[in-house]
């Protein structure tokens, strides 16, 4: 395919993919299957690899992520991002309505009468405020709220959010800003925390903090994996063709923005109060968190007349829902053992109604939380749901504490196998080190190994694993590959077809790629994303097993805790035996030829620092090429740096440092000659 035809195909694919994104993420009406969508995206990415000069900064391929942002540039807001005044009662809202009427020179109306002032009510989303600037229908910049005057530019990360359009449709203004809230849906938050607990990491506190932290991650591929979402709710610009706020929201929806379907226009304050009362109960049925309702004067002329205080607009107010909180008795504290041995203390409560559900248990997270709250069995404790998914204990009613209660002593031995617990200085959790014989760990590792994102052996469920363990047929994950049909048929509810499916599933798993095998073996702290990064870097398990802690720390996503965990895993003789059995069974312990094609050792022993903007490749593609040909990437210049790969607009500080360190600068073309591309 020549360049002209490639440009036409890229344009067509981009438009088609963005339309499918729109129907899926905004209209909730997918028009093609996930498989068909992935094929379109794969074709686009392949064409952009072949013709890198045709890549647009707003191509749908950018939603996959991969670019690294070491520093987030501070940007001054064109329009200050003011905060809203908060209200917590009906009286506050009635007072707001009175002040609005007075500010407009109107006589206060009866609550139920139609007013010259119309209000728009919007759910107040609990996430991260963002301002998006569009020019000629394309996303130009995304900036966080910051201190209201200036925030951080996070454009690269925002492009991974599929509900945010990269290109607009319809009759949009030539330039404008639209503001909204980036949030983490509850089901995604739950899935992230489940994986974190499985690998022994502390769970994320709540979706709001998780969304905020995700948006400041350096690796946009990790941001993409978090599946953030975004509602937009405020259009700003010069000479916009709208008379009121609600009209601007309807227009923004037609341009391709995700506008909440629950926003409403009302003609008096009584209707506003009814809206709030409705959502105070219904908010718990939403798939995302909301902590209140924002009330805005609809008419722009009236907004201008009302104006602003030093901190907030006089034409808008936020009503905050009260965090639902109840008091109940703590009956006992039990301790759960995860597959990595991490211990989670759980408060068992006298059942109590909270947020539309009956709560019987609440997480206590770790020993530090128990000590900080001084929570004791028999206490009346305050339980809150608020913005949290899982109920949490926030305090103790000391006035009702019974005489003679003793401070809670955190367990010292595993509740399942009796092994003495350990706690590393760098970790919040205690854990059981008896990973080869502690029943929940043994079964948990097996269930993790066969899971969909790991080896994907769906014929091996939790019940079957329980049977195999109880029958003494398997003691670790490698034993699965010793199973024969004659071993399985005597098991209860195991017919010939089920046995065949299980054996076939095990055989098929031998084709699962290396990065998923690495995730499946269950090294503590090594999640799905980290396993991919490691596999891409080391290319084979043999190299990984020989890596020092220092080598491991050179890999993206690998910090001290993960490096120690990987090193300790592979020095354990029992783990070495399991790995050897899996290798003998035929599992994939190195990247495939296809994954390694084009690789060489031309850059072996060389360390590169990349700075600036390039014409033929993105920075991320250059980093991949360096690693593919045996080189190393570094973020900072030192005497160990071999070359600085310098593009346009190279940072002056890096240039100065390279010159003082005597490091040679090479161009993009020089680099291409080095690798023979």
Which residues does the annotation mark as catalytic? 124
Strand partners for 264 = 121
Cα 419 off chain centre by: 35
- Whether residue 72 contacts residue 153, with contact meaning beta carbons closer than 8 Å, is answered with yes
Exposed / middle / buried, residue 420 (Cβ in 10 Å: 0-12, 13-18, 19+) = exposed
Tokens of 451: 């899971």
Tokens of 541: 């398990």
- Reduced to 3 states (helix: H, G, I; strand: E, B; else coil), residue 181 is strand
Nearest to 430 by CA among 443, 411, 417: 411
- Whether residue 216 contacts residue 60, with contact meaning beta carbons closer than 8 Å, is answered with no
Q: How far is it, in rounded angstroms, from Cα 280 to Cα 277?
A: 5
Angle, vertex CA 418, rays to CA 415 and CA 422, nearest 5:
85
Tokens of 254: 């037609």
Question: Does the CA dihedral 154-160-164-169 come out positive or negative?
Answer: positive
Q: How far is it, in rounded angstroms, from Cα 259 to Cα 22?
A: 12
Within a 10 A sphere around the Cβ of 277, how many other Cβ atoms?
11
Q: Which residues contact 529 (CB under 8 A, 6 or more apart)?
A: 221, 222, 225, 557
- Give the N- to C-terminal CA distance of the chain in Å, as an integer: 19
CA distances from 50 to 2, 37, 202, 591, 656 (A): 10, 20, 42, 22, 35
Q: How far is it, in rounded angstroms, from Cα 563 to Cα 196?
A: 17
380-384 vs 392-396, strand pairing mode: antiparallel
Nearest to 246 by CA among 298, 297, 296: 298
Nearest to 201 by CA among 28, 333, 339, 93: 339
Nearest to 641 by CA among 669, 676, 666, 675: 666
Phi and psi angles of residue 361, each rounded to the nearest 5 degrees, phi first: -140, 155
Q: Answer left, alpha or beta for residue 359, where phi above 0 means left and psi between -120 and 50 means alpha.
A: beta
Whose tokens are 């490096």? That residue is 563
Q: How far is it, in rounded angstroms, from Cα 185 to Cα 192?
A: 11
- Whether residue 349 contacts residue 383, with contact meaning beta carbons closer than 8 Å, is answered with yes
Q: How far is it, in rounded angstroms, from Cα 180 to Cα 628?
A: 40
Cα 512 off chain centre by: 25
Tokens of 360: 């019987």
Q: How far is it, in rounded angstroms, from Cα 34 to Cα 602?
A: 39
Q: How far is it, in rounded angstroms, from Cα 298 to Cα 577?
A: 70
- Whether residue 304 contacts residue 361, with contact meaning beta carbons closer than 8 Å, is answered with no
- Whether residue 494 contacts residue 463, with contact meaning beta carbons closer than 8 Å, is answered with no
Tokens of 344: 């989670």
């Amino acid at each position: 395919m020549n360049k002209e035809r490639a440009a036409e195909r890229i344009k067509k694919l981009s438009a088609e993919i963005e339309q499918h994104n729109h129907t899926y993420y905004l209209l909730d009406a997918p028009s093609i299957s996930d498989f068909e969508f992935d094929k379109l995206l794969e074709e686009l990415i392949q064409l952009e690899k072949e013709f890198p000069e045709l890549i647009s900064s707003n191509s749908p391929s950018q939603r996959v992520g991969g670019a690294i942002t070491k520093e987030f540039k501070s940007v001054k807001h064109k329009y200050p991002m003011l905060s809203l005044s908060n209200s917590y009662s009906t009286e506050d809202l009635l007072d707001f309505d009175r002040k609005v009427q007075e500010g407009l020179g109107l006589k206060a109306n009866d609550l139920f009468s139609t007013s010259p002032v119309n209000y728009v009510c919007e759910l107040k989303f609990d996430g991260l405020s963002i301002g998006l600037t569009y020019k000629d229908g394309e996303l130009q910049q995304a900036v966080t709220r910051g201190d209201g005057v200036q925030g951080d530019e996070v454009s690269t990360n925002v492009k991974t959010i599929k509900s945010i359009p990269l290109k607009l449709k319809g009759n949009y203004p030539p330039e404008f800003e639209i503001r909204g809230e980036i949030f983490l849906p509850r089901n995604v938050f739950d899935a992230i925390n489940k994986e974190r607990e499985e690998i022994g990491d502390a769970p994320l506190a709540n979706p709001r903090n998780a969304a905020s932290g995700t948006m400041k991650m350096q690796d946009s591929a990790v941001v993409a994996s978090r599946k953030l979402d975004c509602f937009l709710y405020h259009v700003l610009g010069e000479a916009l063709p709208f008379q009121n706020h609600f009209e601007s929201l309807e227009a923004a929806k037609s341009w391709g923005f995700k506008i909440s379907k629950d926003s409403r226009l009302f003609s008096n304050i009584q209707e506003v109060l009814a809206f709030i009362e409705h959502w105070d109960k219904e908010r718990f049925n939403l798939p995302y968190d909301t902590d209140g309702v924002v009330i805005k004067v609809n008419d722009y002329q009236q907004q201008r007349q009302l104006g602003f205080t030093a901190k907030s607009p006089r034409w808008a107010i936020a009503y905050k829902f009260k965090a639902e909180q109840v008091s109940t008795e703590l009956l006992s504290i039990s301790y759960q053992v995860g597959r990595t041995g991490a211990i989670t203390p759980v408060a068992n409560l006298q059942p109590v109604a909270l947020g539309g559900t009956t709560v019987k248990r609440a997480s206590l997270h770790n020993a530090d939380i128990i000590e900080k709250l001084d929570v004791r069995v028999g206490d009346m404790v305050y339980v809150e749901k608020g913005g949290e998914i899982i109920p949490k204990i926030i305090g103790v009613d000391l006035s009702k504490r019974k005489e003679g209660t003793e401070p809670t002593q955190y367990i010292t031995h595993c509740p399942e196998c009796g092994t003495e617990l350990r706690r590393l200085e760098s970790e919040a959790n205690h854990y059981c080190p008896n990973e080869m014989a502690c029943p929940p760990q043994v079964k948990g590792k097996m269930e993790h190994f066969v899971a969909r994102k790991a080896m994907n052996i769906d014929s091996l469920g939790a019940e079957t694993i329980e049977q195999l363990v109880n029958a003494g047929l398997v003691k670790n994950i490698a034993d699965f590959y010793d199973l024969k049909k004659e071993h399985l048929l005597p098991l209860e509810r195991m017919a010939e077809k089920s046995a065949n499916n299980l054996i076939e599933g095990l055989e098929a798993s031998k084709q699962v790629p290396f990065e998923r095998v690495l995730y499946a073996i269950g090294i503590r702290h090594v999640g799905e994303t980290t396993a991919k990064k490691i596999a891409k870097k080391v290319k084979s398990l043999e190299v990984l097993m020989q890596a020092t802690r220092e080598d491991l720390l050179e890999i993206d996503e690998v910090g001290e805790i993960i490096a120690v965990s990987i090193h300790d895993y592979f020095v354990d003789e029992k783990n070495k035996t399991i790995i050897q059995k899996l290798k003998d069974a035929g599992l994939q312990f190195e990247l495939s030829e296809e994954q390694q094609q084009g690789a060489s050792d031309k850059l072996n022993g060389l360390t590169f620092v990349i700075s600036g903007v390039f014409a033929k490749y993105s920075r991320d593609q250059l980093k991949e090429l360096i690693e593919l040909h045996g080189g190393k990437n570094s973020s900072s210049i030192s005497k160990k740096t071999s070359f600085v790969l310098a593009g346009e607009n190279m940072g002056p500080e890096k240039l100065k440092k390279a010159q003082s360190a005597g490091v040679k600068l090479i161009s993009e073309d020089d680099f291409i000659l080095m690798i023979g591309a």
